[in-house]
Structure 1
Amino acid sequence: MTDGVEPSRRWYDRDGRPIPPEEAERLLGRPGYDRIRATTVMDMADLDWIRDISTVWVGVDLGEVAEPPLIFETAVFDRDHTTLRHRRYATEAQASEAHEAFVVAACEEANDPVVLETTDSVT
């Protein structure tokens, strides 16, 4: 424990710096601060096939007391919003790189892919 707070429950800003819970609450209140990217891949050959890829800042360490803390998550969902896969990352750059890799994988899985970027990060 550090400063009376378990490391896995500490808050971090998007640059990975520890912040007090009050600052995390303020950042979570900023529209778009938690969103890194959101992409939808549709298959025009099969309109029931959709993959939504989402990358977010969660602010708290999602790892098992990882060093550095895992404060970003990239996930792939199907059309029913079932999580197909997800990974956790320490930096925004790692999470963004993974997001792009998941988009490429979804495009390779689709027969006639169309890619829609639905949000951009707001910092």
Structure 2
Amino acid sequence: MADGVGANRQWYDPSGRPIPAEEAERLLGQPGYDRVGSTTILDMADLDWARDVSTAWIGLDLDADGEPGPPRIFEAAVFDRDHVTLERRWYATEEEAALAHEAFVVAACDEAVDPVVLQTGDQVS
């Protein structure tokens, strides 16, 4: 990780506490540790339509150039069936990210005619 993304940036644990890159690497190496939510929404009325909502702890403040405030270390994103990003937002806390994940799922269900929701991963805290 020292040569990759975040080599010269501050890492944060899920509680927002600064941590060294080695600790971030250890945490990110634990399967599912970074996952807040992973949901797929299908539309039974249009089998070519799908939305994937993925929310995760990233560990880096990806919105560092944005608004002032606490580091935004969680990302919630919505992708279409071709994995094109439709919307992406960053959050400072796991709670905010989990709420955003649910809002993205609700919005996708509202967009679909006959939605089916598949939880594709358990929430990990």
- Check whether TM > 0.5: yes
Query: 2: CA distance between counterparts of 1:17 and 1:26?
Result: 15
Q: Which residues in structure 2 correspond to 1:1-20 (within 5 Å)?
A: 9-20=9-20
Unaligned runs of 5+ in 2: 1-7
- Percent identity over the alignment is 68
Unaligned runs of 5+ in 1: 1-7
For 1:47, give the aligned amino acid. L
For 1:101, give the aligned amino acid. A
Q: State whether structure 2 residue 15 is matched by structure 1 residue 35.
A: no
* Residue deviations 1:50-104 (CA, integer Å, cap 9, x gap): 0000001100111135420010000000000000001000000000000000000
Partner of 1:59: 59
Q: Which residues in structure 2 correspond to 1:15-94 (within 5 Å)?
A: 15-65=15-65, 66-94=68-96
Deviation above 6 Å: which 4+ runs of structure 1?
none
Partner of 1:3: none
Query: 1: CA distance between counterparts of 2:103 and 2:60?
Result: 24
- The answer to whether the 8 Å contact 1:14/1:92 transfers is yes
Query: 2: CA distance between counterparts of 1:56 and 1:32?
Result: 9
How far residue 9 of structure 1 moved from its aligned partner, in angstroms, is 1.8
TM-score normalized by structure 1? 0.90
TM-score normalized by structure 2? 0.89
Query: 1: CA distance between counterparts of 2:21 and 2:93?
Result: 20
Q: For this pair of structures, how many residues does the alignment match?
A: 117
Provide the aligned C-alpha RMSD in A: 1.5
Query: 2: CA distance between counterparts of 1:87 and 1:62?
Result: 10
- The answer to whether the 8 Å contact 1:40/1:118 transfers is yes
